[in-house]
Amino acid sequence: MKKIINYVGGKEVHCSKNFLPVFDPSKGEQIGDVVLSNDEDFSKTIESSKNAFSNWSKTTPLKRSRILSNYKSLIEKNIDSLAEIVSTEHGKTLDDAKGSITRGLEVVEFATGIPHLLKGEFSQNVGTNIDSWSVRQPLGITAGITPFNFPAMVPMWMYPISIACGNCFILKPSEKDPSCSIKLAQLFSEAGLPDGVLNVIQGDKKTVDNIIQTPDISSISFVGSTPVAKYIYEESAKNLKRVQALGGAKNHLVVMPDANINQAVDGIIGAAYGSAGERCMAVSVAVAVGNIADDLIEGINNNIQKLKVAPWTDTDSDMGPVISKDHKEKIEHYITKGFDEGATLIADGRNYKIQGYENGYFVGPTLFDNVKQNMSIYKEEIFGPVLSVIRVKSYEEALNLVNEHKFGNGTSIYTSDGEVARHFTTNSKIGMVGINVPIPVPMAFHSFGGWKQSLFGDHAMHGMEGVNFYTKLKTVTS
Ligand code: NAD
């Protein structure tokens, strides 16, 4: 059984003898053990980061950028093996895994521009013979705590920019799919990153609490569920740390009566069921406005029947398993609850079995019609392949639904009316908005982040928000 341990100071190390099993979700079999780091592991990680910071923060941005360029090439060369690691431990299809690594790679690419991105501002003669300028300096040791659903991409939203800004970075990956982070760190070392600038520490809540409580770490970037995001935000503030904590989601896609229905159906199928719905930008609610509802439901249901649910090793697979046995049971429980609460169950993904993979954590694509605002399948994040359709009479009613929901990560509208599209972009209380685009994920040079209970903190991730988050502003008057 493979042992997944820490990567500290350019080496794989561990002190703790405590391990947690790691599973292949397609087979439901244990494939490894991940170390649950203890206080000694944590102290050694901090020591290594502290040793690395002094030189790294003085390394010129141009040299840092060249190492990032090497890193980009190495990730490109190794994308197939990285994707296999992701698919084996997460279960998503290889195409999905590769796509997500590419999105992370684009952040590395953005971060290679760091000499330009760190240029400050200068004002001559703010007073007679007095000039003023501002610079952005590194924070010190920064940390990232990441979720299971994007084991490569989400860490890559964080550490390339932090490191490009002259910081050291400690990554605490999800304990459910921890191997990819080790490979990513090894490739960075191979690219020329000095030992200790990027350390990976495996663990659970105990390691997270160590990260929060130590005065040696300046900032925390978190992505995961809302209750944990809230905890990280509150505790980080108590410990006087800079924090960005991205949480859960319930993304609505509004379909207007004048929408191109085929486009809307295609968009919904990919966004609701891709990656088995385990994306924070997955569409989990389709809002059908007016008389389009029957055609929309029929189109979605027809397309669901064509989806192939299979392990990632089957190259025709459209959708793999969910992450764990517990999570499969939780999703199936929500489906039962939705039915009991009175929603119409059009496609039922419970008890989904695949020959040869009977113990895999598969849930079939599930579709509910006539979902109401007070139902738990509407109010709560399910994080699985379950789509709720809610019928409304007007655009105003649809916009109210979007705005009244406690989450505010992403939303989209399908319409051919420019005025409605513009009204929606201006008035939706959501961080990322799409017009005739199902998953409006911003590119690396823009920034990713939701509103309301989907993000606690002032900064979104990557783009200039990332550069600002990972640096402190200094203004000089001379
Ligand atoms: P999670 O909150 O369970 O875990 C995230 C991280 O927090 C992991 O590293 C885990 O070890 C740690 N953690 C878990 N419980 C903890 C606790 N009690 N105290 C301290 N640390 C704890 O999330 P997950 O199940 O891994 O990921 C799925 C969630 O992440 C979904 O809610 C999804 O919407 C969200 N997500 C959000 C975004 C976004 O950009 N907003 C992106 C991806 C995923």
The yes-or-no answer on residue 280 being catalytic is yes
Q: Which atom of ligand 1 is nearest to the CA of 280?
A: 34
CA of 199 to the centre of ligand 1 (A): 20
Q: Which residues pair with 407 in a beta bridge?
A: 452
The beta-strand segments (E) located in 311-462 are: 344-347, 366-369, 386-392, 407-408, 410-414, 432-435, 451-452, 455-457
Question: How many Cβ atoms are within 10 Å of 114's Cβ, its own excluded?
Answer: 22
Buried/exposed code over 404-415 (b: 16+ C-beta within 10 A; e: otherwise): ebebbbbbbbbb
CA of 228 to the centre of ligand 1 (A): 7
Helix (H), strand (E), coil (C) string for 200-259: ECCCCHHHHHHHHHCCCEEEEEEECCHHHHHHHHHHHHHCCCEEEEECCCCEEEEECCCC
Q: 246 CB under 6 A from ligand 1?
A: yes
Q: 224 CB under 6 A from ligand 1?
A: yes
Helices (H), 310-379: 325-340, 376-379
Q: Which two tokens stand for residue 235?
A: 């505790």
Of 165, 168, 180, 280, which one is the catalytic site residue? 280
Residue with tokens 């939701």: 450
Q: 211 CB under 6 A from ligand 1?
A: no
- Selection from 32, 1, 115, 137 nearest residue 69 by Cα: 115
Q: Which atom of ligand 1 is nearest to the CA of 381?
A: 32
**C-beta separation of 8 from 199 below 8 A:** yes
CA dihedral sign of residues 150, 137, 201, 382: negative
- Selection from 21, 25, 7, 45 nearest residue 311 by Cα: 25
Atom 43 of ligand 1, nearest CA residue: 280
Rounded alpha-carbon distances, angstroms, from residue 32 to 35, 343, 356, 407, 421: 10, 40, 21, 35, 49
Q: 143 CB under 6 A from ligand 1?
A: no
Rounded alpha-carbon distances, angstroms, from residue 48 to 52, 208, 264: 6, 18, 51
Rounded to an integer, what distance in angstroms lies between the CA atom of residue 385 and that of residue 66? Answer: 41
**C-beta separation of 284 from 388 below 8 A:** yes
Q: 178 CB under 6 A from ligand 1?
A: no
Q: 208 CB under 6 A from ligand 1?
A: yes
Q: Which atom of ligand 1 is nearest to the CA of 174?
A: 9
What are the φ/ψ torsions at residue 297 (nearest 5 degrees)? Answer: -60, -45
pLDDT values of the chain reduced to their tens digit, one per residue, 478 residues: 899 999 999 999 999 999 999 999 999 999 999 999 999 999 999 999 999 999 999 999 999 999 999 999 999 999 999 999 999 999 999 999 999 999 999 999 999 999 999 999 999 999 999 999 999 999 999 999 999 999 999 999 999 999 999 999 999 999 999 999 999 999 999 999 999 999 999 999 999 999 999 999 999 999 999 999 999 999 999 999 999 999 999 999 999 999 999 999 999 999 999 999 999 999 999 999 999 999 999 999 999 999 999 999 999 999 999 999 999 999 999 999 999 999 999 999 999 999 999 999 999 999 999 999 999 999 999 999 999 999 999 999 999 999 999 999 999 999 999 999 999 999 999 999 999 999 999 999 999 999 999 999 999 999 999 999 999 999 999 9
- Selection from 49, 7, 21 nearest residue 202 by Cα: 7
CA contacts within 13 A on the Cβ side of 358: 2
Tell me the Cα Rg of the chain.
23
Rounded to an integer, what distance in angstroms lies between the CA atom of residue 426 and that of residue 430? Answer: 10
Rounded to an integer, what distance in angstroms lies between the CA atom of residue 220 and that of residue 236? Answer: 8
CA of 223 to the centre of ligand 1 (A): 6
Q: 321 CB under 6 A from ligand 1?
A: no
Which of 37, 100, 280 best tests ligand 1's pocket when mutated (most atoms within 8 Å of CB)? 280
Residue with tokens 């921890």: 178
Question: How many Cβ atoms are within 10 Å of 29's Cβ, its own excluded?
Answer: 11
Question: How many Cβ atoms are within 10 Å of 62's Cβ, its own excluded?
Answer: 9
